[in-house]
């Protein structure tokens, strides 16, 4: 964590100790961040976690659950 963050290391939940080794790639909508991340992952032999994909799945699951309630 950098000095600019409002949380201390002990306040951030990181059970596997991987967040401090993560490279977060962000940008504007349709900025092709996912494509760039995939290219870097292949080149560096690391795993890509597509947050937007998983976030959208969560929203869809809640939408379906609420519709069926």
Q: Is 1 among the domain residues?
A: no
Q: Is 3 among the domain residues?
A: no
Q: Is 38 among the domain residues?
A: yes
Tell me the per-residue pLDDT of 11-33, one tens digit each, with 9 for 90 and over: 778 888 887 888 888 777 777 88
What's the pLDDT at 33?
84
Q: Is 41 among the domain residues?
A: yes
> With helix as H, strand as E and coil as C, how does the chain read?
CCCCCCCCHHHCCCCCCCHHHCCCCCCCCCCCHHHHHHHHHHHHCCCCCCHHHHHHHHHHHHHHHHHHC
- pTM greater than 0.75 (yes/no): no
Q: What does each C-alpha distance from 57 to 16, 26, 62, 69 come to in angstroms?
A: 23, 19, 9, 18
Owning domain of residue 39: 9-68
Q: Is 2 among the domain residues?
A: no
Q: Is 24 among the domain residues?
A: yes
Q: Is 64 among the domain residues?
A: yes
What's the pLDDT at 69?
65
Give me the number of domains the chain comprises: 1
Does 40 have pLDDT greater than 50? yes
């Amino acid at each position: 964590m950098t000095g600019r963050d409002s949380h201390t290391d002990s306040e951030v939940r990181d059970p596997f100790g991987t967040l401090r080794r993560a490279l977060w790639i962000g940008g504007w909508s349709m900025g092709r961040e996912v494509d760039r991340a995939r290219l870097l992952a292949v080149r560096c032999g690391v795993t890509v976690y597509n947050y937007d994909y998983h976030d959208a799945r969560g929203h869809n699951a809640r939408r379906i659950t609420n519709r069926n309630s």
